[in-house]
Amino acid sequence: MIRLFVALPVPLSVRQELVGLQNGLPGARWTDPENFHLTLRFVGEVDFGLAEDLAHTLSRIIAPGFDVTLDGLGWFGNKRRPAAIYAQARKDDALMHLQRKVESAAVRCGLQPESRKFHPHVTLARLKTTSIDAAERFVAERRLSRKLTFEADRFVLYSSFLAHTGSIYTEEAEYYLDYPVYAAAE
């Protein structure tokens, strides 16, 4: 069995900017900047045959490259306790188009459709003992110094190994996005 997810990697320049936000919140387990990503589809544990099928099906996705903009902070959780702090990504048409194609590929391989609504984000911290008040105060007091934009020119099939020190992510396959405007100019 292998634990998988499909995501957009976050470039170093954006990771460096996000690291500056990772402080001052009691109970936060900060995400290692090397693990910053924008999940398009969480797959979970699957057998190696299904993993291979998914890798192949993802390779047939044709979609244009696009810019991703991180434009705010927020938190996930329930009415009793927050679970994560994140940098929110703008839901533009190109991002949503790619996410739908990835979801469709996963379903064609036999995975159940994702039941949760897609909320594009980069997780900055996992929270265990943080209060709602502290999470809300953190989000209100911290702001991105500017809108962070990066070029999404590829997406990645990652494996995830849960170690006692945190998750270890490995790129299993990468898939490049097309730039038809550039191709037409040649």
Catalytic residue check, 121: yes
Catalytic residue check, 56: no
Residue 181: its pLDDT value, please? 53
DSSP assignment of 73-118: EEEEE-SS-EEEEEEEEP--HHHHHHHHHHHHHHHHTTPPPP-SPP
- Which listed residue (56, 119, 121, 164) is catalytic? 121
pTM over 0.75: yes
Answer whether 160's CB lies under 8 Å from 35's CB.
no
Place of tokens 């379903």: 107
- What distance in Å separates the CA atoms of residue 89 and residue 16, rounded to the nearest whole number? 17
Residue 17: its pLDDT value, please? 94
- Which listed residue (37, 56, 97, 164) is catalytic? 37
pLDDT 10s digits, 119-143 = 999 999 999 999 999 999 999 999 8
Which helix H or strand E contains 10, and what residues bound it?
Answer: none
- The hierarchical CATH code for the domain 2-185 is 3.90.1140.10
What separation in angstroms does the CA of 85 have from each of 23, 131, 165?
Answer: 11, 12, 19
The residue extents of the domains of the chain are: 2-185
